[in-house]
Homo-oligomer: A and B are copies of this chain.
Amino acid sequence: MYQIGLEKDELDTPALLIDLDLMEENISTMADFFRGKEAALRAHTKVHRTPILAHKQMEAGAKGVCCQKVGEAEVMVASGIRDVMVTNEIVAPAKIRRLVSLAKHADISVPVDDASNAKALARAVKGEGVELSVLVDIHMGSGRCGVEPGEPALRLARSIQELKGLRLRGLMGFEGHVSAMEPREKRRVEIERLEGLLIETKELMERDGMEVPEVSTGSTGTYDVSGRIPGVTEVQAGTYILMDANYHQHVPEFGCALSVLSTVISRPSSDRAITDAGRMSISTPRGTPLVKGMDGLEVVGVHAENTILRVEGHADAAIGDKIEIIPPYLDGTVKLHERFHGIRNGRVEAAWEIIGRDSSN
C-alpha cells in the first residue's frame, strides 16, 4: 500500500484511521480481564470485518470469533480462523448450503430458535460428513430473535437432540438492550438477572439429561459482569477493540482508537468550519461525532459529505487543516470504508483492507 510510511496528515481525506497504540491497549485490557477466568472471550468481528484484527484478538487469548453473517464467517475462515460462530439464525437454503460447506474447513456454530430451521440444518448436513454445532438462541428481552428461556427452550433443545448431524453445543443469549444501561451498577443488576435466566435454562436442560457445555452471551458493555457469572463460558465482545464516541461513555476503560481524518474546506464565518467528511464516511444513526484532540471545535451538524463545526474564538481550523473525528457508531463507519490506516507516532504504519466489508449476506 503506497500510504505506508506517509505522515498522517499527508493522507487523502476522508480516511479511516486506527490509533494503533490505543487499539493494542484495548486488546490488552480485555485480555487481562479474562486471564484465569472460567469464561473466555469470543471476539465479535462484525465491528471490523478484517482478518488481521481478529487474529490479534486471538493471539491475545480470544478462543474464537463470532460473526453476524455467513459471508463474514467465510472471510474469517478463509483467513485461517478455526472456531467461528454465526450469531444470526440462518434459514435461506443457499445460505445453509454455504454454512455446511464452511463446516468442512472450521468448527462452525449457529443459533437456532425454531424447530423447523433445526430440521433444515440437519437435512443439509446429511451425507456431507460434517456436523454443525447449534446453540439454542434464548430471547433475553432484546426484542430480536430467540426462544423464551425455561420450558420453551427445553422443548426446542429436545427436538434438536433428536436430529442427526447437529451437535447441541449449548445456549446463546444476547442482551444488547442493556449494554449501555446507566448507571453501570443498574446495568450490572439487570445483566445478572438476565444471565440468571440463561443459567436456569442450562440447569433445566442438564436435569433433563442433556450436556450443555457452552453458554455464550454478553457484549463489550457487559463483559465485566457476564464474564464473572458462574456457568457463562464465553463472552461475545467486539466494540472494545476500536470503540466509538457513543459506547465509550458506557465503558470508558476502552479508548476511542478509531477516527476519520478530514479536511476543512470552508470557513464561511468566524464561528463555522465545514469539513469534507460527512455521513458517507461517518455513520451517525445515533449520537454525535466528537472532534479528537482539538479544543474549541464542536460538531453541530453532519450532512452527506460535510461535517459542520462550531469554532470558538481561540480555535484553529483554517481552510486545508486536517481534523480527526471520532464516529459515534463503529460498525456503521467501518462499513463505509475500503481500508483502515493504522497510525503510530504520526505515521501510517499499516493499511489494512476491510476484507469482509461486503459480507452482509
Binding site for B on A (CB under 8 A): 12-14, 46, 68-69, 88-92, 94-95, 113-114, 116-117, 139, 143-147, 176, 263-268, 272, 274, 276-277, 279-281, 283-285, 301-306, 308, 319-320, 331-332, 335-336, 338, 358, 360-361
Contacts and interface: CB of A to CB of B under 8 A. Distances in A.
A64 B88 CA distance: 45
Nearest to A280: B360
Contacts of A279: 283, 285, 331-332
12 contacts: A12-B94, A12-B95, A91-B263, A113-B266, A139-B268, A146-B266, A146-B268, A176-B303, A279-B332, A305-B360, A335-B336, A336-B360
A304 B46 contact: yes
A92 B332 contact: no
B265 A89 contact: yes
Contact of A319 (B116, B144, B265, B272): B116
Given A279-B285, A320-B91, A268 B335 contact: no
Contact of A361 (B12, B94, B95, B331): B12
Per DSSP, are chain A's interface residues mostly helix, strand or loop, or mixed? loop
A90 B143 contact: no
Given A113-B266, A266-B114, A338-B358, A68 B304 contact: yes
Contacts of A143: 272, 301, 308
Copies in the assembly, this chain:
2
B116 A265 contact: no
Nearest to A71: B12
Contact of A12 (B13, B92, B144, B283): B92
Contacts of A308: 143-144
Contact of A280 (B14, B91, B332): B332
Contact of A91 (B91, B92, B265): B265
Contact of A92 (B69, B114, B263): B263
